[in-house]
């Protein structure tokens, strides 16, 4: 897994603590997933708030894109001005998606190598044992295969066959409770009618329900192929579930269910329509403030002063002209032509 599984270490420590408390791998995965969702809850709420805000500014962004379609620099300037004026970040919604992806890869690495991350047996010890099975030490299927081989072996026979393992290692592996409702979470599901299909099917159902609810109730309308991105990513992970131990499907199912509950909660706290009305009122108030005239004192070239009523836009123009006049006066004696 390499860099993609960078979170496997810290996630494995958390998983080990939970497993030691409940002594069941399946229950530990469920509690682990719940803990992850609780930790991510503030970020999910922030994402929902930003999504609701973006629904107001999306038409403004599209208007700017249309108006300055042939002037990319001006478009970038106007977009930045809009963001600064109304204090919103169009890319803020990407953070939870990216973090979920990194956590997902960390979980995959941890579930492939539960003996290393949950039971904390060294990778070198396990690598040597896996090689006895005729597999490479780096083979991601090795630890799961080792669990299945050692389950019914006598300890003395296992010590002889796997000299890198200690009696304590073997007893820990044999005592590793990896069944939930009679389903071996270390097994890899196949397209066959058996109990191993339960969790992959549930993960697919929960994924489609989650996506249907999110897309239907989303206040922000995704454009083009972006609207299919969540669906494509989830289909990919459902496909991956048939190449991974069933423990991943259990994690993914629980994660989807909790994500759906989080989304429902977030929309109750930051109701899209209510926030849209509030932000539109805020935007309209700022527009009115811009058009509201203010009294300013202006000095002409002769030093005479006059009082004018100007809008904020006109005031910005006057200030710009004054700044240019000051610069012209300041640098009037400097050479402005190239030397021959």
Asked whether residue 169 carries a pLDDT value surpassing 80, the answer given is yes
Mean pLDDT, range 29-47, rounded to an integer: 89
How confident is the model at residue 16, as a pLDDT?
A: 94
Instruction: Tell me: pLDDT of 201 over 70.
Output: yes
Q: Mean pLDDT lowest for which of 57-61, 106-110, 154-158?
A: 57-61
Q: Provide the pLDDT for residue 219.
A: 43
pLDDT at 270: 76
276 has pLDDT over 60:
yes
Q: Residue 170: what pLDDT?
A: 92
Using CA atoms, how far apart are residues 200 and 185, in angstroms rounded to an integer?
A: 12
Alpha-carbon distance of 16 to 31, in angstroms, equals 12
pLDDT at 298 over 60: yes
CA-nearest of 5, 249, 2, 29 to 118 is: 29
Whether the pLDDT of residue 340 is over 90: the answer is no
Residue 47 has pLDDT above 80, yes or no: no
Q: Using CA atoms, how far apart are residues 50 and 54, in angstroms rounded to an integer? A: 6
pLDDT score of 220 = 46
Three-class secondary structure of residue 47 per DSSP: helix
Which residue carries 């899209």 as its tokens?
A: 272
Highest mean pLDDT among 35-49, 228-242, 246-260, 278-292: 246-260
Least confident window among 114-118, 202-206, 214-218, 253-257:
214-218
pTM for the model: 0.73
Sequence-separated (6 or more) residues with CB below 8 Å from residue 202: 249, 253
* Strongest mean pLDDT among 5-14, 21-30, 147-156, 281-290: 21-30
Residue 77 has a pLDDT of 80
- Residue 189 burial by CB count (10 A; 0-12/13-18/19+): exposed, middle or buried? buried
Q: Which residues of 250-270 are buried (b: 16+ CB within 10 A; e: fewer)?
A: bbbbbbbbbbbebbeebbeeb
Q: Which residue has the tokens 């990216």?
A: 98
Question: In whole numbers, what is the pLDDT of the chain averaged over residues?
Answer: 79
pLDDT at 268: 81
Q: Give the pLDDT confidence score for residue 303 in this predicted structure.
A: 64
> For residue 228, is it left (φ>0), alpha (ψ between -120 and 50) or beta?
alpha
**In the predicted model, what is the mean pLDDT of residues 268-277?**
75
Average of pLDDT values for 263-292?
74
Quick check: 325 pLDDT over 50?
Answer: yes
For the chain, what percent of residues have pLDDT higher than 90?
Answer: 21
Q: Residues near 290 by Cβ (< 8 Å), separated by ≥ 6?
A: 311, 312, 313
User: Quick one: pLDDT band at residue 284, thresholds 50, 70, 90?
Assistant: confident
């Amino acid at each position: 897994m390499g860099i993609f599984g960078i979170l496997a270490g810290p996630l494995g420590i958390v998983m080990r603590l939970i497993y030691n408390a409940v002594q069941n791998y399946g229950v530990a995965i469920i509690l682990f997933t719940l803990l992850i969702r609780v930790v991510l809850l503030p970020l999910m709420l922030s994402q929902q708030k930003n999504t609701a805000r973006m629904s107001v500014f999306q038409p403004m962004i599209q208007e700017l894109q249309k108006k300055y379609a042939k002037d990319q620099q001006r478009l970038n300037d106007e977009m930045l001005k809009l963001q600064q004026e109304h204090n919103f970040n169009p890319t803020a919604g990407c953070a939870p998606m990216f973090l979920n992806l990194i956590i997902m890869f960390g979980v995959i690495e941890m579930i492939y190598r539960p003996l290393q991350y949950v039971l904390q047996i060294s990778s070198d010890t396990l690598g040597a044992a896996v090689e006895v099975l005729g597999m490479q030490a780096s083979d991601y299927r090795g630890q799961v295969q080792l669990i299945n081989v050692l389950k019914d072996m006598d300890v003395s026979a296992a010590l002889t066959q796997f000299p890198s393992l200690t009696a304590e290692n073997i007893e820990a592996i044999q005592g590793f409770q990896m069944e939930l409702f009679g389903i071996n979470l270390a097994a890899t599901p196949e397209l066959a009618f058996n109990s191993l299909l339960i969790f992959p099917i549930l993960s697919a159902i929960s994924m489609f329900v989650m996506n249907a609810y999110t897309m239907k109730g989303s206040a922000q309308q995704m454009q083009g192929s972006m609207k299919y991105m969540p669906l494509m990513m989830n289909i990919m992970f459902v496909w991956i579930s048939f190449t991974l131990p069933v423990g991943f499907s259990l994690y993914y199912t629980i994660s989807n269910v909790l994500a759906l509950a989080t989304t429902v909660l977030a929309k109750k706290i930051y109701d899209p329509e209510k926030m849209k009305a509030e932000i539109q009122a805020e935007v309209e108030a700022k527009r009115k403030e811009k058009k509201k005239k203010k009294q300013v004192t202006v000095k002409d070239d002769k030093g005479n002063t006059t009082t004018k009523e100007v809008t904020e836009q006109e005031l910005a123009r006057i200030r710009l002209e004054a700044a240019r006049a000051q610069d012209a006066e300041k640098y009037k004696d400097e050479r402005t032509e190239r030397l021959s």
